[in-house]
Amino acid sequence: MKKVGFAGAGAVGASMSFWERAAAKERPTDEAPMFVPTRPFGRTGVDVSILSLGGVLGTSEMIVFRQAFQLGVRYWDTADSYRWGNNEKAIGKYFERFPEDRKKIFLVTKSGSAHPDGLGKDLADSLRRMNTSYVDMYFIHSVSDAQRELTPEIKAWAEKAKKEGKIRLFGFSAHKNMEKSMLTAAKLGWIDGLMVSYNYRLMTQHKMKRAVDACTKAGIGLTAMKTQAAFSANFYASIGSKTDESLEMTEGFMKKGFKAEQAKLKAVWENPDIASICSAMPNMTILQANVAAAVGGQSLSSGDQRRLQRYAADTAPGYCAGCADICESAVACRVPVCDLMRYSMYRHSYGEREPAAHLLGSFPADLGRRIDDTDFSRAERTCPQKIRIAQVMQTVRDDLG
């Protein structure tokens, strides 16, 4: 981390104001500053930083915004729901102080609506909160079935918003059935960009390779999320402790000068068709580590990649791959299994209560009864990851009370 040139970054005096601390970070150092490289975002004509700032920051972490900008992390991702709108408000506060930076940032936000009226209202609210007249990319948040949700009416709305200068590009994000929706997007011909779950666990699967190839040929810009593919506390509970393979992998990477979490990012960047990685970076330590991985010239060896794949296989029962068509069909779609897996990940793996609560609020009011009345044994038998689905669903049931 010496190359980063900000040793002691977390020890800036608490008595200093934000703007004083920001000015301190702008002072030149003896070391050459790092700067995150860029890649083309599909065939949109836009280049974006290969590392994107995920929307977990509030107004109290403004210094992280400033440092991210100075390090070249100029793809900022947010949504109207992140931190109950406070992440967008924090971005708006930043632009109020540094208005000249707005045109240098590729700004993305999202709406949970899949209806033109809802999209229009949400976009207007987002623009107001972020103190900007436009966004570079506007996503429909968490699409499950692109063929059903990306209607001609949505296309007409997106074209109108572009003509009005409110958005530059349009697309959607997907946490489940990603590959199916990606193939649909490639065929539609009017989707500019996608943000999908993509990591060392998923990228080697044939169906994901096929989906990425289709989007690349269609000129769609691809952003990877959930790239470090953390698995749930439920998995640790089922096996007792971390596997020996996990410890071996961590030790192997540290001998090369980087951490396992940095190696997971590097694995995704090995694919030039992935324009950027969206990562939640709630503090300076994680920001610095991710930037160091982005600018570091050392690539993963074939042995490193095999080590990651062995680890992925060993820990597969703790990671939901988002193949909702399989598990949810097995329970006659009575319970949104994949969405509840995602909720469990936020709540019990990441400790992120706000997104977990927001997701929980979108579930049916009788969810507890549905879980109680559902036999998950068939879903477990058909799950490619061999997840103990019933155990995770019981954890969710306990959360509901």
Say how far apart CA 271 and CA 74 lie, in whole Å.
20
The answer as to whether 54 is a domain residue is: yes
Same domain, 256 and 171: yes
Which structural domain, as residue segments, surrounds residue 94? 13-301
How high is the pLDDT of residue 303?
87
pLDDT along the chain (401 residues), means of 10: 33 36 41 82 98 94 96 97 92 97 98 96 98 98 95 98 98 96 98 97 96 98 92 48 60 78 94 97 95 89 88 87 95 94 85 82 92 96 94 92 87
Same domain, 17 and 87: yes
Say how far apart CA 182 and CA 29 lie, in whole Å.
44
The answer as to whether 4 is a domain residue is: no
Q: In whole angstroms, how large is the CA radius of gyration of the chain? A: 21
Same domain, 102 and 229: yes
| DSSP H stretches of helix in 144-194 | 146-149, 152-163, 178-188
Same domain, 54 and 174: yes
pTM for this entry: 0.88
Same domain, 146 and 181: yes
The answer as to whether 315 is a domain residue is: no
The answer as to whether 213 is a domain residue is: yes
The answer as to whether 309 is a domain residue is: no
Say how far apart CA 351 and CA 331 lie, in whole Å.
28
Where b means 16+ CB within 10 Å and e means fewer, 42-64 reads bebebebbbbbbbbbbbbebbbb
CATH number of the domain enclosing 255:
3.20.20.100
> What's the domain count of the chain?
2
The answer as to whether 306 is a domain residue is: no
The answer as to whether 87 is a domain residue is: yes
How high is the pLDDT of residue 11?
31
Same domain, 245 and 347: no
How high is the pLDDT of residue 3?
37
Same domain, 200 and 324: no
The answer as to whether 310 is a domain residue is: no
Q: 122-130 — which CB contacts under 8 Å span 24+ positions? A: 122/80, 123/161, 123/166, 123/167, 125/80, 125/85, 126/80, 126/88, 127/166, 128/92, 129/80, 129/85, 129/88, 129/89, 129/91, 129/92, 130/78, 130/88, 130/89, 130/91, 130/92, 130/95
Total count of residues recorded for the chain: 401
